[in-house]
Structure 1
């Protein structure tokens, strides 16, 4: 069986763990738990998924040895606040990687990081890039529990040993970056980093601080960007992320456009849909 483990801080906070060698989808397992009335704070992890999914129902390929992890939480907050848990997950994953990869490879506020040229950075709304290629993805799903309360499933996939083939966008893996680690090691670091970030978030009261950490780790702020959203494309300069987590684009006519959802592309990838 897969040898996943929780970090010490996650254990202390009472998080639980279900580990699999292979599973259809860790997020499906988490959703079933939510619909059965689970109280949350439980991880579902696998070394391989056979029916993983990404944004908008797109398939998420997870070859053997990569990390597929889904966390079930019951946050008891307004849905708009719950949506910012995606940024908590991004900050968590970046912090977890900080304990695994050389600091010079990270674009983050962590001491020793290369703020200007870090090779690993967060991409709005839910990706982690390495050298401009997709290293990891994050997906939030909402589910109703039997008592009518809302549960959130936070799915996180990390290309640890292999990037899937045949994708319409560049992808890479930690191994391709020269890092010899395991899905279990990445998850152990992630489980503790999540505790730190979600406690900072504090049921939405600390979302401003979380978003600031996210911005400091972001790819492309100040760069030209194209955002594909439901058939039209917004072009301009990626100005910032606002306090609601929306991407703000400074358009060519100098107007500021707030983007709530869409596929973001920088430079020569602007015509690619991922």
Structure 2
């Protein structure tokens, strides 16, 4: 089965570049943007050999997993563009729900898996990482911003020894191909990209994201800037920062960091 856009993505005018194998879909998308591509355009493969996650961690997609990147060129500031990651999480969670339900029905079952969104950019199944999202942005001609949203999903295999334990759709009993997931993702992207509306709809995106947030109201420990902050995951604010309520009752905004559920003791074990 070949990669193809969903019907909604096709109707919305999205383009697709599919590869049998590639080093990095994000790198390819940004390279095209530098050469003048203005999208919106998807770059997708089921085998990625030199991908990157956050903090320059390797993100390798063995054949059968899904590595995809969407290029959007927008007239917004980098701070506003960063909130597109929350729309990406919603699109991916929606696509995962769709394909998992359809796979269960094909097998004659009715069990529905629950996926959740971990700040800032992961999709979890239970407390295991299923997908990761990476945003990159560069200014291009005409004072516009090329934003590449990389979305990697463990379809058939998950890495071992990761800071957050990982899983795959296959391990969860969802036996589908990367192509089926991508088609659903491309359609869901159209929906949530439309709601986001160059940042004007982030209030609605924020509400939808919080309804699916992992650990909301629970104890968390965040590694950020060389320190560990502990408290309760209170909310995310209107800019996408995580708000932690400390034991003293202070509400602290966190712009970037690694979130661990529970206390600081779990950070040392991760």
- TM-score bracket, shorter-length normalisation: over 0.9
Q: Give the whole-Å Cα distance in 2 for the aligned partners of 1:156 and 1:269.
A: 27
Note the C-alpha offset of 1:7: 0.6
| Pairing partner for 2:260 from 251, 255, 265 | 265
Note the C-alpha offset of 1:119: 3.6
| Pairing partner for 2:152 from 153, 157, 165 | 157
Q: Give the whole-Å Cα distance in 2 for the aligned partners of 1:243 and 1:264.
A: 19
Note the C-alpha offset of 1:113: 11
Determine whether 1:97 maps to 2:92: no
CA contact (8 A) 1:54 1:139 kept: yes
Q: Could you say what secondary structure the match of 1:213 adopts?
A: helix
Note the C-alpha offset of 1:62: 1.2
Q: Could you say what secondary structure the match of 1:219 adopts?
A: coil
Q: TM-score, normalised by structure 2?
A: 0.92
Q: Give the whole-Å Cα distance in 2 for the aligned partners of 1:244 and 1:145.
A: 24
Aligned to 1:80: 79
CA contact (8 A) 1:66 1:161 kept: yes
Higher strand share: 2
Runs (4 or more) in structure 1 with deviation over 6 Å come to none
Q: Give the whole-Å Cα distance in 2 for the aligned partners of 1:65 and 1:205.
A: 36
Aligned to 1:71: 70
Q: Give the whole-Å Cα distance in 2 for the aligned partners of 1:272 and 1:51.
A: 28
Determine whether 1:126 maps to 2:121: yes
Q: Could you say what secondary structure the match of 2:59 adopts?
A: coil
CA contact (8 A) 1:135 1:158 kept: yes
CA contact (8 A) 2:222 2:258 kept: yes
Deviations 1:169-215 (A, max 9, x none): 30000000000111111100000000000111111111100111100
Runs of 5+ unmatched residues, structure 1: 106-111
Determine whether 1:223 maps to 2:218: yes
Runs of 5+ unmatched residues, structure 2: 105-109
Deviations 1:223-262 (A, max 9, x none): 0000000210010000111111110000011100000100
Q: Kindly tell me the number of residue pairs found equivalent between the two proteins.
A: 262
Q: Give the whole-Å Cα distance in 1 for the aligned partners of 2:74 and 2:93.
A: 22
CA contact (8 A) 2:76 2:144 kept: no
